[in-house]
Structure 1
């Protein structure tokens, strides 16, 4: 986790939305902690905007709420336009894990697919305990480098130019073995 900053930032709006989601579900902090494995004190600090979530924690929260990470991030941003200029594509960074996520084609009402650009630093290792939406379809096309992706207990080594496609129903794991970072495009299609 990292300390949160600007009160008008995406992180600040995310903190408010996380608190609202918990309230909408009628869950206490203890119940959400039980469902996610994230400590009650961390959840409280996230909702107060004192911390910004890591990729792993955000993934755990999304799984508990049945949302993709992209959908949750879309909820804290303005309605995306039909044309998304490169300069307006939202970028989210998790400095601790070395993950950078650019929402190239963000979720939009009436559309089922989105495109995300991701980079993982060499040595980065990220686990997601559950699928954010069971049965979500994912296509990961590696543009540069290599990434090891574990889906349904099978480890796939995906190299430059390769595309891994699957329906996600459980946990997944991404690891960049190096020596260079991995740069990939991810297409997400809701069931």
Structure 2
């Protein structure tokens, strides 16, 4: 399954599990109905900013949109490098590799990102979860430089630095350097029972 087909299935499946129409998800996310429809049919490659808005509206971490295993394949605790889902943002060119084995319901998601020089991406993170339930992230910068604006505070990171964040406010990722940056992003994930409860409710 290619990455656009995977994203199409995940967005469509999460929307329907919550009993939401295209119009309701569009209203809740700020993404147009026509764009969501194109994404769900696999006819367009959404940007990171658009996926972030949809994930927030669906009350799931962004990594959830990339987490899927074929129905006839049992989850494995091992994710081989060649099997890890890899996605490139068509807007900024940043590349995201999903490291955590899919389908396990693990409490932590690991993602490796290669971020091009001179690019930036804004994640609105307008989560609809209570603040104390909002996902948390830690970014460990392996190579290059990054500038992160979390809410109203800006942090300049060099290789080896690690920044902890609560994902309940806008975050801007930017690479001010002249070469790509590479980092690992660790994100907390809601418990399976909590995720099931979210999936069972309807969006309003």
Q: Classify the TM-score, shorter chain.
A: 0.7 to 0.9
* Correspondence for 1:41: 34
1:50 is aligned to 2:43: yes
User: What SS does structure 1 have at the residue aligned with 2:147?
Assistant: strand
Greater relative contact order (Cα 8 A, min sep 6): structure 1 or 2? 2
TM-score with structure 1 setting the length: 0.86
User: What SS does structure 2 have at the residue aligned with 1:116?
Assistant: strand
TM-score with structure 2 setting the length: 0.81
Q: How many angstroms does 1:10 deviate by? A: 2.7
Conserved in 2, the CA contact under 8 Å of 1:36 and 1:60? Answer: yes
1:160 is aligned to 2:159: yes
Q: Deviations over 1:66-121 (max 9, x none)?
A: 11122221136665421222222221111321110111224553521121110111
Query: What do you get for the CA RMSD once the two structures are aligned?
Result: 2.1
CA distance in 2, matches of 1:79, 1:150: 39
Q: Deviations over 1:36-84 (max 9, x none)?
A: 1111211111112111211111111100111112222113666542122
1:181 is aligned to 2:180: yes
Counterpart pick for 1:60 among 53, 59, 62: 53
* Correspondence for 1:3: none
* Correspondence for 2:170: 171
Distance 1:28 1:108, change over 3 A: closer
User: Which structure 2 residue ranges, 5 or more long, are not aligned?
Assistant: 191-204
Conserved in 2, the CA contact under 8 Å of 1:36 and 1:61? Answer: yes
User: What SS does structure 2 have at the residue aligned with 1:75?
Assistant: coil
Q: Deviations over 1:102-142 (max 9, x none)?
A: 11224553521121110111121111111666521211111
1:85 is aligned to 2:84: no
Conserved in 1, the CA contact under 8 Å of 2:135 and 2:166? Answer: yes
Counterpart pick for 2:66 among 73, 80, 104: 73
1:25 is aligned to 2:18: yes
1:112 is aligned to 2:111: no
CA distance in 1, matches of 2:50, 2:4: 14
CA distance in 2, matches of 1:144, 1:37: 34
1:99 is aligned to 2:98: no
Q: How many angstroms does 1:22 deviate by? A: 2.1
User: What SS does structure 2 have at the residue aligned with 1:38?
Assistant: coil
